């Protein structure tokens, strides 16, 4: 039986086992490889996507649980790649290897959607278990604040 | 309207998706190829180019129409090398980085050394690539001068265009390419003086960053092609373990599982595991099928236990070891000492835990093999894949993706060799072997567990008269030569043999230990434990002498001198004057000696590694049993700097890497089996634990040295010293968090 969901604004029907984690449906079946596999136990954040606007770890959500829901991946965060976070990430030259960055950006985007003036504590609690082994944490914090500032100014 | 999308072609180099590439294809017949490296100088034609291309070296391609291509022949794993190497070429070629296409090289000896480790990419290519760029520029300028009948000195080059200052004539490099290709390659092209640099030494954002932040960058796991199957491999629990039997019936019931079969281990190829492979339509089915396997293993002889290893290593350093360096008479110094200070320093096995677990895609077809992998070492991978599959070197192609972190793990091609063996059984079908995080943690090439013993002799005035340091750890060479026990010079040369302090009586000894694990290099390698012991001992000795640890270091270093132990050190011997300078700079940057607020302590460490000088001050406190690191101040002298922002980023990264293992990093073994498996039991630093990091770069025009690794070794001993100040306790073991909590 096929499972229908919306990914980045486009409806897709998948004929897959409903136990398959959303992560692998996105990557292997739909070809959205921007979302990464890091741990498989929701402890590293590399697979973070939005499900109906909420940041979720796609490695532990079964595809059967997102039937009919709307999923946003890094590829769909912005049509132009110009989301304030994406611009700020470039301004601060955040990435090193870059593998975790889609998850970091998606986690931060969910935060800024509700809070355009986050404190360090807000950022830290949102990005807990969003692991970056290269050590870009300082720049992530700075970039989130820059993006938040831009979003406040635009309002 | 419903739509299902699936990528249909492999996107190996992200560059292939770039808009500007679309203009790069034209029509043509012959093109000229020149090599710049001495063994490649000379011209030859090829007929298979769709566009005339001028190859002034193997690193530069200038087509008549379309974008200039610069070849990045070493691997990007976050250290910024796909930006730095093209900067070297572009500076002398006189092109703008934003105007060129950067192409990742396949594994091929024609590019020279591609083994991306040892923080050596810039150092090894500093002259080579600048000369390649300069030679090409000289040929293009000469071609323009001949075409226009003017002196070369009347021509000016800017952004890939040659201008005649005496007229309005101008020609792009592409327009000059066919004429330039007929000229001799200059053997000694003239390099720009640093004062004329417009690219080198300036902050440059990573060329891959735009693709990274939009999810378009291609890592190892992102390879996609028609008919691709995904594999997951169940390996024996121990190194040397063997498959006895397996039952695949339940695995085959998982929807999407296509094949289940065993592959043999490859013990002489870096002790690569064999096991039972489950091959499926998608990753989930492969992993799920694997979980359903029923397997009987012969565990072999592996029986290591971490606690027993600790005792064995300590017993080794309490005895006598192989003499590595001896000056004066330590035994006599000890006999006549007023006081002998003795300390043992222990640290556990560590695993790399890059965010991207190992992954490789292999297609075996028509007697050839093609590999797509995040490898640090594509030439070795190519050689070993050829050997594993019974092919010739020329029958194997190794394409390199971006590496989602590596830290030394992806220098070992075991995951590629496993994938090759699986793909060989499914000839004609591309197979991607995806490791889990648990695979990565349990089947690593571990940073060695160690014990270091330092004995220091003090006279009545507290002066240091003797230094004995005994290092014991399993050698990395056991991975290449099973059974090897004695450490190699390259391991001992990392912060042990080259101990820089001026002490009259020195005895350095080493003892090997046979581990049941595969031992490998992890960021900074043996420097991590040698810097731990030497810095902690120096800090303890300063405390005993009632001296400031910074002043104590400077006094022990004394007048500037060069410490060299072999010809290989030249021209990069340890210059104690440069070490002194970074110690002074870090002390000043950190406000060393001032009282810190909130009960924080200040700790100091310094280290020379990968030919770079680093000193670091760490501010930390303890709150409710939890360590809080407030600030890290670091001074670094790495000679000439290509991209300062990358250097700062690498120090920020080194601090995170160093703090992760200083506080938490610990792989333990029981009955020869690694007990950790994921980030829940192998914790690493989180964003809330990130301190402020300030970096002072010493600018010079000396030859460039390492950047990616040298920041790591001082972190743990500087933190140790800070915590010692806070709690009054001496810490000699890593990791620290559980001792403080």
Residues A49 and A104 in one domain: no
Query: What number is the average pLDDT over the span A105-128?
Result: 97
Question: What are the helix (H) ranges across B95-220?
Answer: 121-148, 173-180, 209-213
Q: Taking chain B, what is the end-to-end CA distance rounded to the nearest angstrom?
A: 58
- Which CATH number do you get for residue A104? 1.10.150.120
Taking the C-alpha atoms of residue A88 and residue A94, their distance in angstroms, rounded to an integer, is 8
User: In chain A, what are the helix, strand and coil shares in percent, each to the nearest 5?
Assistant: 40, 15, 45
Instruction: Write phi, then psi, for B509 (nearest 5 degrees).
Output: -135, 150
Cross-chain residue pair A33–B288, CB shorter than 8 Å: no
Could you please state the CATH topology (level 3) that the domain comprising B225-300+358-434 is classified under. Answer: Aldehyde Oxidoreductase; domain 4 (3.30.365)
CB B402 within 8 A of CB B217: yes
Taking the C-alpha atoms of residue B711 and residue B702, their distance in angstroms, rounded to an integer, is 19
* Closest residue in A to B210 (Cα–Cα): A90
Return the residue in B214, B402, B654, B688 with the most chain A beta carbons within 10 A, the one to mutate for interface testing: B214
CATH 3.30.200.20 fits B14-213, yes or no: no
Cross-chain residue pair A136–B405, CB shorter than 8 Å: no
- List of residues 6+ apart from B385 with CB closer than 8 A: B362, B369, B371, B391, B396, B398, B413, B416, B417, B420
CB contacts of A100 in chain B (<8 Å) are 355, 404
Cross-chain residue pair B653–A124, CB shorter than 8 Å: no
Give the number of other CB atoms < 10 A from CB of residue B169.
14
CB contacts of A11 in chain B (<8 Å) are 1-3
pLDDT of B197 reads 97
pLDDT of B53 reads 82
Using a pLDDT cut of 90, give the percent of chain B over it: 87
Query: What number is the average pLDDT over the span A18-37?
Result: 98
* Alpha carbon A73 to its chain's center: 6
> 3-class DSSP state for residue B677?
coil
Min Cα distance B568 → chain A (Å) is: 31
Count how many Cα atoms sit within 13 Å of the Cα of residue A45 in the half-sphere of its side chain. 21
Cross-chain residue pair A32–B80, CB shorter than 8 Å: no
- Structural Rg of chain B based on CA atoms: 28
Selection from B525, B521, B515, B526 nearest residue B474 by Cα: B515
Q: Does the model's ipTM exceed the 0.85 cut?
A: yes
Cross-chain residue pair A27–B219, CB shorter than 8 Å: no
> 3-class DSSP state for residue B432?
strand
- List of residues 6+ apart from B221 with CB closer than 8 A: A27, A33, A36, A37, B356, B359, B404, B432, B434
pLDDT of B48 reads 56
Residues A72 and A8 in one domain: yes
User: Which range marks the domain in which residue A21 is found?
Assistant: 3-76
CATH 1.10.287.3510 fits B319-351+445-740, yes or no: no
Taking the C-alpha atoms of residue B94 and residue B90, their distance in angstroms, rounded to an integer, is 6
| Residues within 8 A of B (CB atoms), A 99-138 only | 99-102, 105, 123-125, 127-138
Residues A31 and A92 in one domain: no
Instruction: Write phi, then psi, for B669 (nearest 5 degrees).
Output: -125, 140
| Residues within 8 A of A (CB atoms), B 583-612 only | none
Residues A41 and A106 in one domain: no
Residues in chain B: 741
Last residue of a domain, one of A45, A76, A107: A76
Residues A71 and A110 in one domain: no
Taking the C-alpha atoms of residue B293 and residue A19, their distance in angstroms, rounded to an integer, is 18
- Of the candidates A89, A129, A134, the beta carbon closest to that of B405 is on A134
* Alpha carbon B452 to its chain's center: 25
| Residues within 8 A of A (CB atoms), B 602-661 only | 645, 649-650, 652-657, 660
CB contacts of A124 in chain B (<8 Å) are 686-688
| Residues within 8 A of A (CB atoms), B 446-505 only | none
- Which CATH number do you get for residue A32? 3.10.20.30
Min Cα distance A153 → chain B (Å) is: 22
pLDDT < 50 positions in chain B: 1-45
Residue A155, pLDDT above cutoff 70 = no
Min Cα distance B2 → chain A (Å) is: 5
Residues A91 and A149 in one domain: yes
Residues A68 and A95 in one domain: no
CB contacts of A44 in chain B (<8 Å) are 355, 437, 679
Return the residue in B213, B292, B437 with the most chain A beta carbons within 10 A, the one to mutate for interface testing: B213
pLDDT of B15 reads 26
Residues A16 and A61 in one domain: yes
CB contacts of B404 in chain A (<8 Å) are 36, 97-100
- Of the candidates B217, B282, B686, the beta carbon closest to that of A128 is on B686
- List of residues 6+ apart from B15 with CB closer than 8 A: B21, B101, B102, B103, B104
CB contacts of A10 in chain B (<8 Å) are 3
pLDDT of B400 reads 98
Residues A64 and A104 in one domain: no
Q: Is A18 on the interface with B (CB under 8 A)?
A: no
Taking the C-alpha atoms of residue B369 and residue B362, their distance in angstroms, rounded to an integer, is 7
- Of the candidates A12, A37, A99, the beta carbon closest to that of B405 is on A99
Cross-chain residue pair B213–A13, CB shorter than 8 Å: no
> 3-class DSSP state for residue B75?
coil
Residues A57 and A122 in one domain: no
pLDDT of B286 reads 98
Task: Delimit the domains of chain B by residue range.
Answer: 14-213, 225-300+358-434, 319-351+445-740
Q: State how many domains chain A has.
A: 2
* Closest residue in B to A141 (Cα–Cα): B687
pLDDT of B571 reads 64
For residue B537, give the DSSP letter: H
Return the residue in A76, A135, A138 with the most chain B beta carbons within 10 A, the one to mutate for interface testing: A135
Residues A98 and A49 in one domain: no
Nearest 10 degrees: CA dihedral of B722, B727, B730, B733?
-70
Selection from B706, B718, B713, B716 nearest residue B736 by Cα: B716
Residues A7 and A70 in one domain: yes
| Residues within 8 A of A (CB atoms), B 355-384 only | 355-357
Q: Is B208 on the interface with A (CB under 8 A)?
A: yes
Q: Is A68 on the interface with B (CB under 8 A)?
A: no
Nearest 10 degrees: CA dihedral of B353, B355, B356, B357?
30
């Amino acid at each position: 039986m096929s499972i229908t969901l919306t990914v980045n604004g486009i409806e897709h029907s998948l004929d897959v086992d409903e136990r398959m984690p959303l992560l692998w449906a996105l990557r292997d079946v739909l070809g959205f490889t921007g979302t990464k596999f890091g741990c498989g136990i929701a402890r590293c954040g590399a697979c973070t996507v939005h499900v109906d606007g909420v940041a979720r770890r796609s490695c532990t959500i079964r595809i059967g649980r997102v039937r009919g829901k709307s999923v946003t991946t890094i590829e769909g965060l912005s049509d132009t790649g110009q989301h304030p976070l994406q611009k700020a990430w470039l301004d601060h030259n955040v990435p090193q290897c870059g593998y975790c960055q889609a998850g970091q950006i998606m986690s931060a985007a969910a935060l800024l959607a509700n809070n355009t003036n986050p404190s360090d504590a807000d950022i830290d609690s949102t990005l807990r278990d969003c692991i970056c082994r290269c050590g870009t944490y300082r720049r992530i914090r700075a970039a989130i604040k820059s993006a938040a500032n831009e979003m406040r100014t635009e309002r | 309207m419903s739509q299902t999308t699936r990528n249909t072609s492999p996107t190996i180099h992200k560059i292939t998706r770039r808009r500007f590439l679309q203009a790069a294809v034209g029509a043509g017949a012959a093109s000229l190829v020149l090599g710049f490296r001495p063994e490649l100088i000379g011209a030859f034609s090829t007929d298979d180019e769709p566009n005339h291309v001028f190859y002034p070296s193997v690193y530069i391609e200038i087509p008549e129409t379309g974008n200039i291509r610069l070849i990045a022949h070493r691997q990007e794993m976050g250290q910024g090398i796909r930006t730095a190497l093209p900067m070297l070429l572009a500076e002398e070629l006189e092109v703008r980085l934003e105007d060129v296409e950067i192409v990742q090289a396949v594994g091929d000896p024609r590019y020279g050394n591609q083994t991306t480790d040892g923080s050596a990419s810039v150092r090894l290519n500093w002259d080579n690539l600048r000369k390649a760029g300069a030679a090409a520029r000289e040929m293009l300028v000469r071609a323009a001068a001949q075409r226009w009948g003017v002196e070369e000195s009347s021509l000016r080059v800017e952004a890939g265009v040659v201008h005649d200052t005496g007229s309005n004539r101008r020609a792009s490099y592409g327009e000059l390419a066919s004429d330039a290709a007929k000229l001799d390659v200059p053997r000694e092209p003239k390099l720009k003086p640093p004062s004329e640099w417009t690219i080198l030494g300036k902050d440059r954002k990573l060329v891959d960053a735009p693709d990274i932040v939009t999810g378009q960058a291609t890592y190892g796991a992102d390879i996609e092609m028609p008919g691709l199957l995904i594999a997951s491999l169940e390996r024996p629990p121990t190194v040397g373990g063997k498959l006895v039997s397996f039952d695949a019936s339940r695995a085959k019931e998982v929807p999407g599982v296509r094949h289940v079969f065993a592959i043999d281990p490859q013990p002489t190829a870096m002790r690569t595991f064999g096991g039972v492979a489950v091959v499926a339509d998608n990753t989930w089915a492969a992993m799920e099928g694997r979980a359903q396997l029923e397997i009987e293993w012969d565990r072999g002889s592996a029986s290591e236990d971490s606690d027993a290893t600790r005792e064995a290593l300590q017993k080794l350093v309490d005895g006598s070891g192989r003499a590595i360096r001896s000056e004066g008479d330590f035994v006599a110094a000890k006999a006549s000492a007023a006081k002998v200070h003795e300390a043992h320093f222990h640290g556990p096995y560590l695993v790399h835990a890059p965010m991207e677990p190992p992954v490789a895609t292999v297609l075996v077809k028509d007697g050839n093999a093609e590999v797509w992998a995040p490898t640090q070492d594509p030439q070795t991978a190519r050689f070993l894949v050829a050997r594993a599959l019974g092919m010739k070197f020329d029958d194997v192609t190794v394409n390199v993706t971006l590496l989602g972190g590596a830290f030394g793990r992806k220098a070992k091609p075991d995951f590629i060799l496993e994938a090759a063996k699986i793909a060989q059984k499914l000839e004609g079908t591309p197979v991607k072997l995806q490791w889990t995080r648990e695979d990565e943690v349990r089947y690593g090439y571990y940073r060695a567990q160690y014990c270091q013993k330092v004995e220091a002799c003090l006279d009545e005035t507290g002066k240091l008269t003797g230094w004995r340091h005994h290092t014991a750890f399993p050698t990395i060479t056991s991975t290449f030569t099973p059974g090897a026990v004695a450490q190699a010079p390259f391991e001992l040369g990392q912060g042990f043999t080259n101990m820089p302090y001026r002490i009259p009586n020195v005895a350095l000894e080493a003892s090997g230990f046979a581990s049941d694990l595969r031992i490998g290099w992890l960021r900074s390698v043996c420097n991590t434990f040698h810097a731990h012991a030497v810095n902690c001992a120096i800090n303890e000795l300063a405390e005993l002498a009632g001296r400031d640890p910074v002043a104590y270091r400077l006094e022990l270093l004394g007048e500037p001198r060069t410490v060299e132990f072999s010809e290989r050190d030249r021209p990069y011997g340890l210059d104690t004057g440069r070490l002194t300078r970074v110690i002074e700079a870090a002390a000043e940057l950190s406000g060393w000696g001032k009282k810190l607020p909130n009960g924080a302590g200040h700790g100091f460490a310094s280290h020379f590694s990968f030919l770079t000088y680093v000193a670091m001050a760490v501010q930390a406190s303890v709150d409710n049993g939890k360590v809080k690191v407030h600030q890290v101040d670091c001074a670094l002298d790495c000679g000439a700097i290509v991209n300062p922002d990358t250097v700062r980023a690498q120090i920020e990264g080194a601090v995170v890497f160093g703090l992760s293992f200083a506080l938490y990093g610990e792989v333990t073994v029981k009955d020869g089996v690694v007990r950790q498996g994921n980030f829940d039991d192998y914790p690493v630093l989180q964003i809330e634990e990130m301190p402020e990091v300030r970096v002072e770069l010493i600018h010079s025009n000396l030859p460039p040295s390492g950047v990616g690794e040298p920041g790591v070794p001082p972190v743990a001993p500087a933190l140790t010293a800070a915590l010692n100040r806070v709690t009054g306790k001496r810490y000699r073991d890593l990791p620290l968090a559980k001792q403080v909590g």
